[in-house]
A and B are shown apart, each in its own frame.
Chain A
């Protein structure tokens, strides 16, 4: 397996979607290729970091204001 072929399956590796025979090939490539090993681990970390940080929080006072506005508009429908 080449690095380009590995990269084409990267999402399936990250999402645990790769079929089992293919997964074995991917694992074998990883054992031999530092470049792809690093790409896999840092891409996985990228996703984890984005999942674990709330980038755009909705403050409670704004939330209440939006609720009131939404429900008032809906009642007028």
Chain B
């Protein structure tokens, strides 16, 4: 038995069965310690993922107070359900799934009981061909200051239907794989791919309107 396996073995419960020492994610050990009452271990997990959970929540609920509540509720619920975490998925994707559900519940409450799901406003037909042929030159980043660009990006992504927005955020902003995104949202892989394509094209088209306008102004000013 390798030294690594000997070190890890005492921390393993019967519910976590790694296939090899190299595959054990450090989070799994923190979860195991937290299950045994080590609050410092759970606090480490909170500190590790609070920023991401806050970002995801804010992208979905689009309201800072609600996002703060989601962060608290998601970490509390995760703590209460630690025994249900099997260790065969990443703790992070398991936590994100809880946070997404909490965010959708929060949206539903805000909309006076109307059901909100990640299927809302999602059309089923394939994406149409982009209409726009203009390239973005010069680099759009050179046209705007940091805060102006962030404002444009926020306004642009807020215009997407929630079902597209959440897929884009998890896949392209937070860097989850297609499979992890599908698992987190309870969607099929083809559904994730379809929504991602449409989200990317819609964002591109919306941003294009800003960048072309500013580019036109810049060129007009040079004449």
Contacts and interface: CB of A to CB of B under 8 A. Distances in A.
17 contacts: A4-B129, A7-B197, A10-B200, A11-B200, A14-B200, A39-B130, A39-B201, A42-B132, A42-B208, A49-B149, A50-B157, A55-B58, A57-B51, A58-B55, A71-B42, A74-B42, A74-B76
A7 B172 contact: no
A19 interface: no
Interface string A40-63: 011101110111011111100011
Nearest to A69: B72
A56 B168 CA distance: 15
B1 interface: no
B136 A45 contact: yes
A64 to B, nearest CB: 10
A4 B71 CA distance: 41
B39 A7 contact: no
Q: Is the interface of B mostly helix, strand, loop or mixed?
A: helix
B135 A38 contact: yes
Nearest to B75: A70
Contacts of A34: 133
Interface of A: 3-4, 7-8, 10-11, 14-15, 34-35, 38-39, 41-43, 45-47, 49-51, 53-58, 62-63, 66-67, 69-71, 73-75, 77
Contacts, number: 114
Interface residues of B, number: 49
Nearest to B64: A56
Q: Is the interface of A mostly helix, strand, loop or mixed?
A: helix
A47 B67 CA distance: 23
Interface string B12-42: 0000000000000000000000000001001
B133 A35 contact: yes
B42 A50 contact: no
A49 B51 contact: no
Q: Rank and list the top 8 A-B pairs by shortest CB-CB distance, nearest first.
A: A56-B58, A58-B54, A46-B204, A74-B79, A70-B75, A43-B204, A56-B55, A38-B135
Contacts of A46: 200, 203-204, 207
Contacts of B42: 71, 74
Interface string B153-197: 110010000000000100011000010000000000000010011
B9 interface: no
B200 A47 contact: yes
B115 interface: no
A73 B72 contact: yes
B140 A66 contact: no
